[in-house]
Chains A and B, each alone.
Chain A
């Protein structure tokens, strides 16, 4: 492990101070991506600022605005949080799809998002839920919609000196039925070859996909067909997804396979949530 200094932060201003002082400061919340990245040379960290125990980042609550998930909250805590299980179970599914149980005891939702992998299992559910990313920085606080947060593979809307403090799942929730469908090579502790989130409520549907474009993407064409053009045939609607995605070939699957699987999973997601419409 390459050497770095370690700063334990007890409040947000400390973390901001370290970020401002040294651009090679990396934040440690769960550490499950960070330490792997430092070991592998992906992150050249001179300093690690531990924000895990900052009280205000450990927020996990539901109020009139919705569900707020602080940057220090682990994936297991989220998946076991009753309001998540009750109101937005699709997010729990996404959280539980990441890594292993012990990794999820450390890994955070905010960390997963900040890593900005197009294959992040939580991203597609968050897209469907219209999540809002709360950011703090030298210029004060700002909020960004989840879809604007992802800007490319490993790239996010975070600017130098900024950090994500929380994610808000805003009310009203798209309450109906949501499913997260994931194709992978082994169906156990594997990265998504394709991940598809489908959320339906009333006559509306929202669909997002991971691992099929430089960022997670909404299946706008499919959504439009269903929401606006009254297409009721799931297969017909799902086939439009190819307009919304631009997958590449890699170790986890070829471009062609991803096109095919995207259609299959979108269709299945639509079928499995169909009951909401009737």
Chain B
């Protein structure tokens, strides 16, 4: 039996210390241990983007990261975007532009969109495509997603 590892990290601004099995993915840890169920599982192999989170401010597929790797790092999930009961501007723009239907890809999509806007406040269509092509939306809300992101541009 493999022994659990102790990890210390912050999640959505809160410091945490937990024990994790060495083979547990960050995705499973977020959903099952932290109970932050906004992060979704869609493929488990980094191809759909539904499990996107920010790790030290960088968007990563949490299904391709081990929970053990979280040690000493900062994690932000979709639950961490709204501040003081106020939605983030990307979240608001997604509502205004009807940039989702079933909503299952939406948390990951918003995480990617927000990371893009952080590093590039005025993205072109091409920039948006490059940054979000790893987030699949089967409802096909891509055009509205593009518009929502552009509405957040400076």
Contacts and interface: CB of A to CB of B under 8 A. Distances in A.
A adjacent to B, CB under 8 Å = yes
Contacts, number: 87
Interface stretch (A31-39, A241-249, A267-275): A31-39
A50 interface: yes
A230 interface: no
A20 to B, nearest CB: 20
A140 interface: no
A185 interface: no
A6 B46 CA distance: 21
Contacts of B22: 3-6, 48
Interface string B61-79: 1011110110100000000
Interface stretch (A94-102, A144-152, A213-221, A258-266): A94-102
Interface stretch (B9-17, B52-60, B80-88, B94-102): B52-60
Contacts of B21: 3
Interface string B9-45: 0000000000001111100100000000000000011
A1 B46 contact: no
A36 to B, nearest CB: 5
Interface of A: 1-6, 8, 28, 31-32, 35-36, 38-40, 48, 50, 52, 96, 99-103, 105-106, 188-189
Given A35-B64, A36-B46, A100-B134, 9 more contacts: A1-B24, A4-B2, A4-B22, A36-B64, A50-B68, A101-B132, A105-B58, A106-B64, A189-B134
Interface of B: 2-3, 5, 21-25, 28, 44-47, 49, 52, 58-61, 63-66, 68-69, 71, 112, 129-134
27 contacts: A4-B2, A4-B22, A5-B22, A31-B64, A31-B66, A31-B69, A35-B25, A35-B65, A35-B66, A36-B64, A40-B45, A48-B66, A99-B46, A100-B49, A100-B133, A101-B134, A102-B49, A102-B52, A102-B59, A102-B60, A102-B61, A102-B112, A102-B134, A103-B64, A105-B59, A106-B64, A188-B129
